[in-house]
A and B are shown apart, each in its own frame.
Chain A
Amino acid sequence: MISIRTRLIFYMSMLVIIVGAVSCVFFLIYSKKQQEESLKKLGGSLVMLLAQDNEVKDALSYSQRAFLDTPIHVVNELDIEKEIGYLRVATNQSILVEERAPWIDIDMEEIPICKDSGITNVPVSSQIWARGGVRVVELHPNSNISVTNRKVDCVGGFFYDFTVSVIGKQTFSEEEFAAQILGEAKVSDKTIQENLGFVQIGLSTYKLNERVKKIIWRIIIPMGLIIIFGGMGITLFLTKYFVSPLRHIANITLDIAKGDLTRTIDICSEDEIGQLSKNFNQMTTELKISHDEKEKILAQLRQHVEELTKTNKQLSEAQERLVRSEKLAVVGKLASGIGHELRNPLGAIRNALFVIKKKTAGINTLNDIQKLDQLIEIVEKETERSVKIVNDLLGFSRTTKPTVSPTSVRAVIESSFLRLKMPERIEKVIQLEDNLPLVSVDTTQIEMVFMNLIQNAFDAMPTGGQVTINAKRENGFLVITFSDTGCGIPDNIKDKIFDPLFTTKSKGMGLGLAISSNIIQRHEGFIDLKSKEGEGASFIVKLPIANV
């Protein structure tokens, strides 16, 4: 895209160049004409000087060439620039003098002679030159004698030819005679005149052309360049002066379009651009006000949306907790009933087994004894197992309100490991920050949670691996992470992992994580799972830091 400034500079420059060229041509024509006029004046003056010289008149009257030397010398002296190419003085019958400048190669035969050069006050347009040439007659301003002026083109160059008749006085006019007869010596200007011959001078145009060339090189070309470059400079200045404010406005408009509504145009002129700037600033101000209002409304909307999202999330969580609590409550009631009902028979079975064991101590039949012992052993083992299940169920249903006290997590973790049997191929890594704060927890319950999580980690790595426990402070909580390098938990069961009675193990009730989650909630903490199938699992427990 061509900018206004470029176009303006281009057009103005073209205009300036045209004006400069036209001025130069005009000045050249004018100068040449002036030079020609001055040459004509010089020629007219010189030829008239000769024609009016008394010695020339005497020379022509008496056909005496000798009288011409002095006047011709005077004329040559007056020709300072040496522009006289040739000179001819002749009577009506014969030529007295024919001279040419030594520096001009011209044959005087080429210069035409007027047959009737002596006629005065007569239209001479019909007069014929003896040897060609075009004749133009001009009346000399200081005389009633006509001066012929023509251009002669010959081998030696171009010449301005000036021919004038030489007039001599013949007699007194009647009025002068009257003045003499009637006693007055005054001589009237009115005389009857006689043509004695003519004087012809040719001025060469060579010097004129030289002068014109000088004018071209010294005046016209510098003048043209000054006009063109000056004009272009002025154009640049004016263009910059007029277009810069527009460009400034355009830049500011661009900034505003990008959103910077604080930009204003600081043009204080009173012209159209100033008016445009004022209007533009006013428009920008109003736009900014509208934009601010819009932003304010958007911010409010955004805040409302955030609040709604948060509320919705809280609602979902609350709903989830409620469902879980209801589930727990139902499972708790069921477990409590089942446990309570099964506890007594199982106790009686255990007691009975103890008595049977005491009574059969005296039996010596080895096979029977061995066989009975094996059976009793099985019954006892299964009974113990059932008791444990019942205890777990009762433990789940009877989860009590925790009795919290400031406790060191490090101690709880170490205690948990001590109470568990460490598998051989599993390595434990405990990474705890120094100076960990105490947490406000029920040590027994939290230890059960930790043991459950560590046992689950052991179970997830039957072929060995690494259990990593780390703890760190975070926003008023102590965050403890239990990570394993096991097979991980599939995404489709993540949501159900904390549900009671959900398990992936062949031997388990699916109550461990449910009980752990319940204990943590009672401590006003959080428990969460991060796991990816095949890359292990991490249980994150957040416990409130104790206010010590």
Chain B
Amino acid sequence: MGKNNKNQKHRNCIVVCCFIVTIILQALFYIHEVDAVENTVIIVQSQQIPAYNEAIKGFEEECKRKNISIKAIYDLKGDAEEGKRIVKNIKDSEIKPKLFLVVGVLAAAIVKEQFDDIPVIFCMVINHERFNLQGANVTGISTEASVEDQFAILKGLLGTYKNVGVIYDPGKTGKIVSEAVAASKIFEFNLIKSEVTSETEVALALKNIINKIDALWMIPDSTVITKKSLDIISKTALEYHLPIFCTSDAIIKAGALVSVSPDYRYIGLQAAQIAQTLLSNPTITSLGIKRPDKLKLTLNTQTAELIGVNLSPIRSYPNVILYP
């Protein structure tokens, strides 16, 4: 009799435990669902390149600290058609993210086109002004340092009253050059402009101004900076002991002297902070275009030696990286 009662008690205990476990699991699932709906962020990157990955890495680290959940990272692999399909699938899915981080111009253009009701933060878009990325739900982080910041470093290196040459395609970077013209007066530079419309004109344009300038300022213009033209520019500049000032580490590796560029990881971190702001204030959907908070200065000591330029005036600047 006593044994039967004991078994009955065991069975009751098991039933109660199962019931409790079921309720807990359902509660967890519900909480998870709520959390997913409330705080999910989707990252879309144009392609797999280290700079993009570094920015994403910075974003992820900061999101962890700020309890922002990253639902997924999509890679468009540089393919517009593929990218459209992926973004369309995201759009068609039932659970929508609260915010998009888009890395690269392709991702930015496609996501902005598909979503106008979800905040979008773009970064790592070179010359973002060219791509009409403004929007009520779009916040961006520029990939270039401001012309003023660049000229300040240039002035520190070269001093004042110097002739600075720039080759550009007016259709692509005319606006930057216009800003630079205004800024050059402030920094007492004489900006000598040379316009090109195709890659083949670059060599001739350089030849035309090379004897008139003390430094060549290379802005991120896709007509001017190509594999072929970069090679020509680098060789010519070395030949004429002309320092090249630019905004890309890659061009430093090709032979430029100084570059002012953002810290890509920090751009991600900065994007996470913006995301936190947007997520915590649903009424705010855009914070406009932000400049990168942290810049780095890359110096090519090898080129400096070759062309006989003393880098000591700017070597003491913060975030200096020496190459090689």
Chain A residues near B (Cβ < 8 Å) = 171-186, 188-190
Contact = CB atoms under 8 A, between A and B. Distances in A.
6 contacts: A178-B124, A179-B49, A182-B50, A182-B52, A186-B47, A189-B79
Closest 7 CB pairs between A and B? A184-B49, A182-B51, A188-B78, A177-B222, A183-B250, A181-B248, A183-B249
B47 A175 contact: yes
A189 to B, nearest CB: 7
B51 A184 contact: yes
Given A174-B106, A179-B49, A181-B126, A189 B225 contact: no
Given A171-B199, A175-B78, A175-B106, A181 B225 contact: yes
A184 B52 CA distance: 10
B170 interface: no
B248 A171 contact: no
Contacts of A175: 46-47, 78, 104-106
Contact of B104 (A178, A185, A186, A189): A178
Contacts of B264: 182
Contacts of B250: 180-185
Nearest to A184: B49
Nearest to A173: B78
Interface of B: 46-47, 49-52, 78-80, 104-106, 124-126, 131, 143, 199, 220, 222-223, 225-227, 230, 247-251, 253, 264
A180 B46 CA distance: 14
A185 B250 CA distance: 9
Which of B46, B78, B143, B230 is packed against the most chain A CB atoms within 10 Å? B78
Which of A172, A174, A186, A189 is packed against the most chain B CB atoms within 10 Å? A174
Contacts of A188: 47, 78
B52 A189 contact: no
Nearest to A121: B81
A65 B46 CA distance: 40
Contact of B248 (A173, A183, A189): A183
A183 B227 contact: no
A190 to B, nearest CB: 5
A175 B199 CA distance: 17
B113 to A, nearest CB: 15
B249 A190 contact: no
A62 B283 CA distance: 59
Nearest to B48: A186
Nearest to B227: A180
B223 A182 contact: no
Nearest to A185: B250
Contacts of B227: 172, 180
Given A178-B49, A178-B125, A182-B264, 8 more contacts: A172-B222, A176-B78, A178-B126, A181-B247, A181-B250, A182-B52, A182-B124, A189-B79
B47 A179 contact: yes
Contacts of A185: 250
Nearest to B53: A184
A174 B106 CA distance: 8
A188 B230 CA distance: 18
Contacts of A174: 105-106, 126, 131, 222
Contacts of A172: 222, 226-227
Given A182-B250, A183-B50, A190 B223 contact: no
Given A175-B105, A180-B225, A183-B249, A190 B49 contact: no
A518 to B, nearest CB: 134
A180 to B, nearest CB: 6
Nearest to B199: A171
Nearest to A181: B248
A182 B45 CA distance: 14
B49 A182 contact: yes
Contacts of B78: 173, 175-176, 188-190
Nearest to A182: B51
Contacts of A171: 199, 222-223, 226
Nearest to B221: A177
A190 B223 CA distance: 17
A184 B78 CA distance: 13
Contacts of B251: 181
B46 to A, nearest CB: 5
Which of B50, B104, B126 is packed against the most chain A CB atoms within 10 Å? B126
A183 B79 contact: no
B105 A178 contact: yes
A190 B80 contact: yes
Contact of A178 (B46, B199, B230, B249): B46
B52 A177 contact: no
A190 B51 contact: no
A181 B249 CA distance: 7
B250 to A, nearest CB: 4
Nearest to A177: B222
A184 to B, nearest CB: 4
Contacts of A180: 225, 227, 230, 248, 250
Contacts of B126: 174, 177-178, 181-182
A182 B252 CA distance: 11
Contacts of B230: 180
Given A171-B223, A172-B226, A177-B126, A184 B104 contact: no
B178 to A, nearest CB: 21
A183 B223 CA distance: 17
A139 B104 CA distance: 30
Which of B50, B79, B222, B226 is packed against the most chain A CB atoms within 10 Å? B222
Contacts of B220: 177, 181
A183 B251 CA distance: 8
B52 to A, nearest CB: 7
A139 to B, nearest CB: 13
A171 B200 CA distance: 11
A142 B125 CA distance: 31
Contacts of A177: 126, 220, 222, 225
Nearest to B106: A175
A386 to B, nearest CB: 157
A174 B125 CA distance: 9
A189 B82 CA distance: 12
A177 B125 CA distance: 11
Contacts of B223: 171
A183 B46 contact: no
B226 A186 contact: no
Nearest to A191: B78
A61 to B, nearest CB: 12
A184 B50 contact: yes
Nearest to B247: A181
A145 to B, nearest CB: 15
Contacts of A173: 78
B169 to A, nearest CB: 11
A184 B222 CA distance: 15
Nearest to B125: A178
Contact of B253 (A179, A183, A190): A183
A186 B105 contact: no
A179 to B, nearest CB: 5
B40 to A, nearest CB: 26
Contacts of B131: 174
Contacts of A186: 47, 49
A62 to B, nearest CB: 13
